[in-house]
Structure 1
Amino acid sequence: MRAACWRSLFAALLMFQGAFGWTAELAYPPVVPGIRLVFPEDTGGHPAFRTEWWYVTGWLADEEGVERGFQVTFFRVRTGVGEDNPSRFAPRQLVLAHAALADPQQGRLLHDERAARALAPLAGFETERTHAWIGDWWLRLEQAGYRTQVKAADFAFELRFVPQAPPLINGEGGFSRKAADPKHASYYYSRPQLAVDGTLRVRTATHRVRGLAWLDHEWSSELMPPGARGWDWIGINLHDGGALMAFRMRDEAEQPLWAGGSLRGADGVQVSLDAQQVRWIPGRRWRSPRTGADYPVEWTVEIDPPSGAAPRRLKVVPWMDDQELDSRRSTGTVYWEGAVRLLEEDREIGRGYLEMTGYAERLHM
């Protein structure tokens, strides 16, 4: 989803710019190291920064044991439009939302999306805690955990997420570099091991579901480094109670520009992985019959343990190959995002999500 919003955002900005005007040389605050994340305050929005997202993915099983993957994301953008305009209708902030369901019985993703200017009570976000919404789509933090509601034509869900583990603070205390130049960075934490329960509607059938989910919250003013075509990312809930997040920024030749990650063991000890400790090796590829984009849907991710032991070789395997999201009729963006299994020595050690952007065309942010 993090790729999907940019075209719709651009179209919205062109519409609003004529009415409200661009703000000249808007100074977005930089992301700098040494800023301690504070909870629950930092679970809310950070409207001074250019972009921000709350991104939830997970695996669900219904009462008959049928498994599906899901994703819901709320995205906040400081537009640079109407900053000096006193009207409450000025689109200084936009909120975008995207949701998808991976269902092998359908053979492809079911998905839907929304976008609106931040204008309470219709759409908006809170700054003191997680709460973002557009109409009857919402994600919020409550006392016992998170809850979300999505209502689309082909599917709908209302889910509760209860944390089973503390936040995973990525990078250097939440400062997550995306390039050798530290100005390309974000503030970034994850909430792995979220126990899920709720209801899911697929077409006309409604199910009770349970499962496990992962939440990412990230905000930045300058994320993509020069020369980057896109990124590859995984968020995996490990079966032993641990968690793995890994990413790489990729150039036009599919070579790494930067990489990083976080690994938490079953004992709760977390290790931050730098660019030299994470290697992405592409494996089997799948070509989309719709877009012609060629994706490496299987990966080997090598991780160097801090102990100096031999690298761990982890294999990322898709639940189904066709988890491409083709938004050319709406946002114009094409990317792959779907449910995956993580194997080590041919044994499944976790499940989560893989996101690959920039394989159809360069991702513009």
Structure 2
Amino acid sequence: MQYGRRTLLPRILAAGSVSKAGLLLGLALALGFALIPSPRALANDFARVLEGYRIDFPEDSGAHPDFRTEWWYITGWITDDQGHERGFQVTFFRIGTGIGADNPSRFAPRQLIIAHAALADPASGHLLHAERAERALDPISGAAVGRTHAWIADWSLSLKDDTYRTIIQTDRFDLDLTLIPSGPPLLNGQAGFSQKTPDPANASYYYSRPQLAVNGKLRLDDQSLYVNGSAWLDHEWSSEILPDNAQGWDWIGMNLYDGGSLMAFRMRRPDGSALWAGGTLRQGGKAAQILAPDQLRFKPGRLWQSPRTGADYPVEWEIEANGRRFALRPLMDDQELDGRSSTGNVYWEGATRLFEDGREIGRGYLEMTGYWQKATGL
């Protein structure tokens, strides 16, 4: 399988009697959840998320193929040597299909690897993005157990000696970045057990690496630029499905200028009300504080309508977290990512500034799903 710089459309390979359409039905993206064919019928085919599990490093930085869904999600801000600021996203997803478990062939499509890459460039006025998807098949694509290493051809994310590196090559832009953590992993929820609805059975294992120091190279069209900045990595795995009473979710991951970090999310009902919420606040030099649902409030503000999908996204927000009031403002409005060719989802994932009392106190990313349609994957 060859990927050139001009290859933007992902391919899902069929194997044996499994059709391409059948494999596409196995693709889904959700923050904490994923859907695959007949998910309830296959519920017993995957491991369950249980409270009390101890997350160990670096072993748990790698893949967990016994679980249905997993992702390594990097978002960040970079500044080039000319002073221009941009946002970037690199995400690798691993999806267990529930297909081919009894097939000894290495070509059986047991696992799918999906990757999204995006650059928020204000000069372009919209998000530059590319996506790929492949059946996990070494050496073409895969996600290693024991330490972070996910790849599809010449796209990769890896961890070595507590330093991450990601390499992405697309038609419009390339990234070659190193990302160095400033501290230990941040366990979200109860020691990494992150509940997603009022039912504790709907949960994921979830940790973050905030305040990643970024250095590397960006190619944008014909420009080759040195960049530096800060980023955030989320690693999450689960076997649960998005419940019927959830339309989608809103999430933020913010690096604070005092050295701290703020992660907050809410699951939304179809009427827009909060089904559940959670978060982690770490102020500079202090221990992390777990935020309960009653300590978080998301208030949507100004709407932006996508000229492509017609979806209305609240690109400005007011968020209350344990008595503190924050405001979110985007780097630019058009940061919609159309992932229908790989995950079936359209979502807004964008570089955003964080304010408190009118003062900018941090920056990071805002993710919004379920505004185009219910975040069910296809």
TM-score (norm 1): 0.92
Of 206-215 and 280-289, the range deviating more from structure 2: 280-289
* Match for residue 43 of structure 1 among 61, 73, 80: 61
Matched with 1:229 is 247
**1:194 is the counterpart of 2:206:** no
Asked if 1:58 is matched to 2:76, the reply is: yes
SS of residue matched to 1:42: helix
Corresponding residue for 2:29?
none
The equivalent of 1:4 in structure 2 is none
Matched to 1:198, the amino acid is: G
Residue 140 (1) aligns with residue 145 (2) = no
1:220 to 219, 238, 245: 238
- Which residue is equivalent to 1:151? 169
* Contact 2:196-2:277 within 8 A present in 1 as well: yes
Aligned with residue 260 of structure 2, among 210, 235, 242: 242
In the alignment, what sits opposite 1:126?
144
Give per-residue Cα distances to partners, 1:131-188, cap 9 Å, x unaligned.
Answer: 0000000000011410000000011110000111221100000000000111110000
Distance 1:328 1:337, change over 3 A: same
Kept in 2: contact 1:16–1:81 (CA 8 A): no
- Percent sequence identity is 59
Alpha-carbon distance, 1:9 to partner: 7.6
User: What letter corresponds to residue 166 of structure 1 in structure 2?
Assistant: P
User: How far apart are the structure 2 equivalents of 1:11 and 1:86?
Assistant: 16
Could you list the structure 1 runs, at least 4 aligned residues long, displaced by more than 6 angstroms after superposition: 7-13
1:362 and 2:367 correspond: no
Aligned to 1:324: 336
Residue range with higher mean Cα deviation, 350-359 or 290-299: 290-299
Q: How does 1:246-285 map to 2 (within 5 A)?
A: 246-285=264-303
Distance, in Å, in 2 between the alignment partners of 1:268 and 1:36 is 22
2:20 maps to a residue whose letter is M
Per-residue Cα deviation, 1:276-330 (whole angstroms, up to 9, x for no partner): 11110111111112211111111111011xxxxxx11100111111111134566
Contact 2:11 2:132 in 1 (8 A): no
Equivalent of 1:83 in 101, 106, 111: 101
Cα distance, 1:163–1:184 mapped onto 2, change above 3 Å: same
Q: Does 1:177 align with 2:195?
A: yes
Give CA deviations for 1:188-247 in whole Å, capped at 9, x if unaligned. 000000000000011111100000000000000004223111000000000000000000
1:318 alignment partner AA: P
Provide structure 1 residue ranges, at least 5 long, that are not aligned to the other structure.
1-6, 305-310
1:238, 1:223 → 2: CA distance? 32
Partner Cα separation in structure 1 for residue 295 and residue 247 of structure 2? 22
Alignment-derived partner of residue 33 in structure 2: none
Contact 1:55 1:215 in 2 (8 A): yes
The reply on whether 1:335 has 2:317 as its aligned counterpart is no
For 2:20, the equivalent position in structure 1 comes to 15
Q: Distance in 1 between matches of 2:344 and 2:51?
A: 34
Alignment root-mean-square deviation, CA: 2.2
> Who is 2:27 aligned against?
none
Counterpart CA distance in 2 for 1:343 and 1:68 is 18
1: distance between equivalents of 2:317 and 2:345? 23
1:314 to 326, 330, 355: 326
CA distance in 1, matches of 2:282, 2:241: 25
Please list the CA deviations of residues 75-105 of structure 1 after superposition, one character each: whole Å capped at 9, or x if unmatched: 0011011000010100111111010000000
Deviates more, 1:192-201 or 1:216-225: 216-225
Q: Which consecutive unaligned segments of at least 5 residues does structure 2 have?
A: 1-9, 24-36
